[in-house]
Each structure stands twice: as structure tokens, then as C-alpha cells.
Amino acid sequence: MAQSMSMKAPASVQVARVARSTPAKVAAPRALGPKMFGNTAGLSMSSKGSAPQRGALEVCAALSDLRDRIESVKNTQKITDAMKLVAAAKVRRAQEAVIGGRPFSENLVKVLFAVNARLDGEDAEVPLATVRPVKNVLLVVCTGDRGLCGGFNSFMIKKAEARVAELEAMGVSASLVCVGKKAVKYFKNPQRSMYNVIANFDMGNKPTTAEAQAVADQLYSSFIAEDCDKVEILYTKFKSLIATVPTVQTLLPLAAEGEVCDVNGVCVDAAEDEIFKLTSKDGAFAVERESLTTDTSTMESNIVFEQSPSQILEALLPLYMNSQVLRAFQESTASELASRMNAMSTASDNAKELKKDLSLSYNRQRQAKITAELIELCAGS
């Protein structure tokens, strides 16, 4: 009996365990189902509710970017306005130097050739007036030391390349003397080894007689040693604040009549200049222009020289070379400063227009944001 009862007990326990475990397994999915679907519904509701928040954040980020750009444009405009005023003040001084030096250099040329005319009946030799068959040309290229002056430097470099190509097409070799850091950096680049640069000099904002003398000595020695048969100088002739003319002038040998001519024989002496005064009009920077006629009086032929013409000529030739080189430097410097002033003026105007467009876009986005917030408040109420 005891054994039979003990044999039945495990069976009842096993049935009870199965009975208890079966409802638990069936009930488990019912209990998890509502919780699972409830969580899914909650996730879908939270994703729908976060879309306006993300849109608002994107609008705020866009407005912040626009504010930063507007401030950046304002700061840039302040810099360009300051550089414009500085360039205007410098170009006025450079213009005064150009206009003040032209009568001296022009009259010096007339005296030089008046003396040269007296040597026609003598055996004296004038080396700088000796005309030889042109096989090698020494070209002096004048550029600036700095940028931010529009296309001034690049245009002069292209002009020099075109002149070298023109000479090579005629079977004439060309050597370069670079004046200005921009020309030195460009033509002495290892990738442009086809250009023969024999010397280089800095330009500066205030060309001095000593700087011009160093270049003149280089040109004088090259021509006397017959390393070149002709010396040309490429510079930008200053006519006004908005008008500059790239000019290729022949320095050596001397012209027959003493006038300053370009390579085509056209006289490049200035008969009229334009000066200006810095003024303020309606609280802004303004320029008053005034025409000025340069005195180009002729040289009298009945002058009596106390010393021999050959001695006077030897003393005048170095002075002539110095004055012509200094004049070209002054013209080029004034043209560079005028180009920088015009470039900064254009940059300031562009900054004003850009600031206006950015402010308009900022106000439109801000108004759209406010309108969207009002619509959400009305819909929620």
C-alpha cells in the first residue's frame, strides 16, 4: 500500500506542475502583448511630436549662421573702408611726386639732347646713343610688392609675357630685370625657367633716388658691356585715379629728338594730368578732381656752354638714367595705389550689397519662425 501510494504521488505532482505551467505559458503572451504595443504606440507618438522641434532647431541654426555671416561681412567692410582711405592718402602723395618730377625729367632730356647735338661735328663718342643691331633686349618689368590691388600685377605680368613672346617671334632674345616682389615671385618660379632673370629689386611705396640709381647702374653697365643692344622698361603710366596705361618705353639707346617714346615711336610724355583732393560728402569719402597742365617748354638752341659738350654729357647721362627710372617707378607706384583704392572701393560696395541681402534673408526666416510659433499656439488652444 505504501509503495502504491508512493508510486501515485509523483504522477499527481507531475500533472499539477503541467496544469500550473500550461496557463502560465499561455498567459505570458497576453501579458506582454499590450505592453509591447503600448510601447510601440508611445514611440510613434514621440517621433511625431519631435518633428516640429527639429524644424525649430534647424531654423534657429540657420538664423545663427546668418547672424554670423552678417557680422563677418560688417567686419570685412570696415577693413576694406580703412584700406581704401589709406590707399587714397598714399596715392595723393604718389601723384604729387609724379607730377612734380615730370618737368625735371622732361627738361633734362631736352638739355641732354641739346648737348648731344653740339657733338655732331666732334669725334666724341656717346655710348648711350649708339645704335646697334638688336639681338638681345633687356626688359625691366615694374610691378608691386603686395596684392589687393585688383588685376594690376597680373595684367603687368601678362603684358611682360606678351612682349617677350613678341621679341622671340622676331628672333630677338630677351632678358628680364624684375622690380617688385610680384614679378620676382612669378618669373623666378622654377616652373618658368624659360625666362632669363638677371637681376631683381623691390619697389616699395615710396621710390627713392637710391633705389632708382641701383637699377639704373644695372641697366647702364649691361648696355655699355654690350650684354644687350636695347633696354626697355615696362611700367604703368599714371593718368588719373581711374585711368592707367601700361607702357613699354625705350630707355637705351637714346631717342633721336629727346622725347620719351614707346617701342612704336609714339610719344608718351604727359601734357595733362589730373589731381584730386580728398573730401567728405554726406558723411562719406569723396574725391574732387582738377585738371593740371604739365609745363613742356622747348629747349633753346642758342645756349652757350662754358665746358665742353662731352664733359657735360658725361655728367648728364647718369642723371638722365636715374631720372627716367625714378619717373617710371613713381608712375607705377601711383598706378598701383590707385588700383588698390578702386579695388577696396568695389569691395566695400559689394560688402554693403551682401549685407543687405543677408539681412533681408535673416528677417524673412525670423518672420517665418514667429508665424509658425503663433500657428502652433493657436492650434494648441
Q: Which helix (H) or strand (E) holds 304?
A: none
Does residue 292 carry a pLDDT above 80?
no
Q: How many domains is the chain partitioned into structurally?
A: 1
pLDDT: which is higher, 16 or 260: 260
pLDDT per position as a tens digit, 88-134 = 888 888 878 887 887 887 788 777 777 777 766 565 566 777 778 88
pLDDT of residue 186: 95
For 33-49, the pLDDT digits (tens) are 443 334 434 333 344 44
| Cell 524644424, located at residue | 55
**Residue 271 pLDDT grade (very low, low, confident, very high; cuts 50, 70, 90):** very low
Q: How far apart are CA 342 and CA 148, in angstroms?
A: 10
Residue 258 has pLDDT above 70, yes or no: no
Residue 295, pLDDT above cutoff 60: no
pLDDT at res. 120: 61
- Please give the average per-residue pLDDT across 317-321, as a whole number: 84
Query: Can you give the pLDDT at residue 107?
Result: 80
Query: In this model, does residue 52 exceed pLDDT 80?
Result: no
Cell of 192: 618658368
Across 42-71, b (16+ Cβ under 10 Å) vs e yields: eeeeeeeeeeeeeeeeebeeeeeebeeebe
pLDDT on residue 39: 40
Burial 195-226 (b: 16+ CB within 10 A, else e): bebebbbebeeebeeebbbebbebbbebbeee
Residue 230 lies in a domain: yes
Residue 250 lies in a domain: yes
Q: Which of the residue ranges 25-29, 121-125, 127-131, 221-225 has the most confident prediction, judged by mean pLDDT?
A: 221-225
Mean pLDDT calculated for residue range 333-344? 89
pLDDT for residue 201: 93
Which residues touch 313 (CB under 8 Å, ≥6 apart)?
112, 115, 116, 119, 124, 126
In a domain, 362, yes or no: no
**Least confident span in 90-94, 104-108, 210-214, 275-279:** 275-279
Sort strands 230-238 and 196-201 into parallel, antiparallel or unpaired.
unpaired
More confident residue, 381 or 83: 83
Residue 162 vs residues 158, 173, 320, 372: alpha-carbon distances, Å: 6, 13, 28, 62
pLDDT greater than 90 at residue 53: no
Residue among 104, 151, 334, 137 at smallest CA distance from 249: 137
Please compute the mean of the pLDDT values over residues 289-299 and round it to a whole number.
Answer: 51
| CA neighbor of 204 nearest in space, from 341, 329, 342, 344 | 329
280 or 365, greater pLDDT? 365
Dist CA 67 CA 358 (whole Å): 8
* Structural domain containing residue 79: 75-271+305-357
Residue in 149, 178, 228, 267 annotated catalytic: 149
Residue range 230-244, pLDDT digits in tens = 999 999 888 777 777
Structure-model confidence comparison of residues 202 and 33, the more confident one:
202
Domain assignment present for residue 137? The answer is: yes
What percent of the chain clears pLDDT 90, i.e. is strictly above it? 27
Q: What is the C-alpha radius of gyration for the chain, rounded to an integer number of angstroms?
A: 42
Q: What is the mean pLDDT of residues 201-225?
A: 89
pLDDT > 50? residue 216: yes
Residue 288: the pLDDT is 55
pLDDT score at 19 = 40
Beta bridge partners of 281: 284
**Is 149 a residue of the active site?**
yes
Cα gap 111→116, rounded to integer Å: 9
Cα 147 from Cα 181, distance rounded (Å): 10
% of the chain exceeding 70 in pLDDT: 68
Instruction: Round the average pLDDT of the chain to a whole number and report it.
Output: 75
Query: Distances from the Cα of 210 to the Cαs of 117, 139, 214, 258, 323, in angstroms?
Result: 30, 20, 6, 24, 11
Where residue 182 sits, what CATH number does that domain have? 3.40.1380.10
Look at the alpha carbons of 348, 349, 352, 353 in this order and tell me if their dihedral is positive or negative: negative
Q: How confident is the model at residue 50 (pLDDT cuts 50, 70, 90)?
A: low
Q: For residue 371, tell me if it sits in a domain.
A: no
Which pLDDT score is estimated for 183?
94
**Helix, strand, coil percentages in the chain from 3-state DSSP, rounded to 5:** 60, 15, 20
- Identify whether 279 is part of a domain: no
Taking alpha carbons only, the member of 381, 303, 277 closest to residue 118 is 303
100-109, 273-282, 366-375, range with the lowest pLDDT: 273-282
Q: Tell me what pLDDT residue 65 has.
A: 87
Residue 199, in any domain of the structure: yes
In a domain, 192, yes or no: yes
